Amino acid sequence: MSDSATTPAPDGSGPAQLPDAARPIAAGYAFTGPALDLGALLWDGVCHPDAQVRVPLPMLNRHGLVAGATGTGKTKTLQLIAEQLSAQGVPVFLADVKGDLSGIARPGQGGERVSTRAAETGQSWSAEGFPVEFLALGGIGHGIPVRATVTSFGPVLLSKVLGLNRTQEQSLGLIFHYADTKGLELVDLKDLRAVVAFLTSDEGKPELKGIGGLSTATAGVILRSLTAFEAQGMADFFGEPEFDTAGLLRLAPDGRGLVSVLELPAVQDKPQLFSTFLMWLLADLFHDLPEVGDADKPKLVFFFDEAHLLFHDASDAFLDAITQTVRLIRSKGVGVFFVTQTPKDVPSDVLGQLDPAELDRAVRESPLYGRYAQAVDRESAYEKLTAAQAQPPAEKPRAKREKAPAEDPSLVEQVIGSGMFKSLARSVGTQLGREITRSLFGTARRGR
């Protein structure tokens, strides 16, 4: 559905008839150039179509807030902005928590109420559908599966999902550091569990001794948190093929911006999970996009629905990372809109939605379906550690004559020279000793 808007020509009821107190407001929106038309000024219950409320298109990467109680029209405002952005060639990302935004894909239905409203605001209305890509976290629900590897997700975001405290978060960071150094790819949760289990074994404990070590108690908390997380069916969100966020910047063949709708109703009872995954998407975009400064229009506008869930029980490190990422991503042409609302039931007048059959058809016809629909489980940390443990122990070398004591090996030399991982060196090859560069969130840059 669409609310296509045009600014009416003066018809005699111009700004001169506005109340004196309303004239500065109208003057504040009196500008030319590409813009979003959001409606007309409402003053003392009277709509003034000559005072149009417009937002310049170049300002949409300056971030924004859509706020109000349930039923005040936040969803409708969000949809209106998304449609107008798409119409002007700007891709949009929508987090659809309640499942009431899928109707953007097909033309809406007119009626007396719509016609009356359009006349009051001095706008023209026409039914129109927009190019939409439906996504779903881990493939739960309707949509192209969105997955991330544990490595790229990083320890800060994963700590938020698992509900770890500051000390446990730091220990998880140490585990990631070790896996990076050893070239052990943490693709899914079983990879992470295998590394934690090894580092707390008799053979693995010495590996981290020089950099603080990993206490058995903390490792136990992390393993129990992973087990509980998987028991809730969350393992599907981590794995390959990993979603390439560059796909969110696409345009439709007709030049309109693609509207990527992340369907979240199936996981709306897991607020920490989906809010943290949305921050992963934003952090991944921050990794890859170049600096553009103030562009004529944004490269992407990101709508963060149920934003209050993002900050619930968040660590200081997580909050700091959010603040920095949102502030800095503006210079890369990405606008972020936070949409806040109270956790109440879905309003009775929600927007029209597609039927499940139509959603499934739209998903299957997507060019992303062949790339992301089927999960892939390649050799990574779990398989490498399992294979190494299955090998017979090497024979002890014969005693040799004493030599002069050598200098103490460095930490890296100790790690690389450990007995357990002698065999891994052959399989890891050039990845041995590699440390993955991480961003503000500790997320890893991956190869494209």
DSSP labels, 42-59: EETTEEEEEEEEEEEGGG
Closest CA to 68 of 394, 385, 340: 340
**H-helix or E-strand spanning residue 381:** helix 381-390
- Whole-angstrom distance, CA of residue 30 vs CA of residue 324: 33
Closest CA to 336 of 74, 71, 66, 103: 66
Maximum distance among all alpha carbons in the chain?
A: 106
Higher-pLDDT residue of 238, 359: 238
> In the structure encoding, which two tokens stand for residue 278, read together?
């949305």
**How far does Cα 239 stand from its chain's mean position?**
15
Contact 74, 58 (CB under 8 A): no
Mean pLDDT for all residues in the chain: 76
- Whole-angstrom distance, CA of residue 164 vs CA of residue 155: 10
Residue 193 pLDDT grade (very low, low, confident, very high; cuts 50, 70, 90): very high
Contact 137, 237 (CB under 8 A): yes
Question: Residue holding tokens 């349930």?
Answer: 70
Q: What is the pLDDT of residue 175?
A: 93
Half-sphere exposure of 99 (CA within 13 A, CB side): 17
Strand, helix or coil for residue 91: coil
Q: What is the CA radius of gyration of the chain?
A: 27
User: How far, CA to CA in Å, does 397 sit from each of 220, 239, 394, 414?
Assistant: 36, 41, 9, 19
Q: What is the pLDDT of residue 89?
A: 95
Reply yes or no on whether the pLDDT at 339 is more than 70.
yes
CB atoms inside a 10 Å sphere around CB 344: 9
Roughly how many angstroms between the first and final C-alpha of the chain, as a whole number?
Answer: 35
Q: What is the pLDDT of residue 15?
A: 46
Q: What is the pLDDT of residue 359?
A: 52
Half-sphere exposure of 329 (CA within 13 A, CB side): 29
Closest CA to 246 of 201, 307, 309, 300: 300
Residue 400 pLDDT grade (very low, low, confident, very high; cuts 50, 70, 90): low
Please give the average per-residue pLDDT across 118-134, as a whole number: 80
**H-helix or E-strand spanning residue 307:** none
Please give the average per-residue pLDDT across 328-354, as a whole number: 59
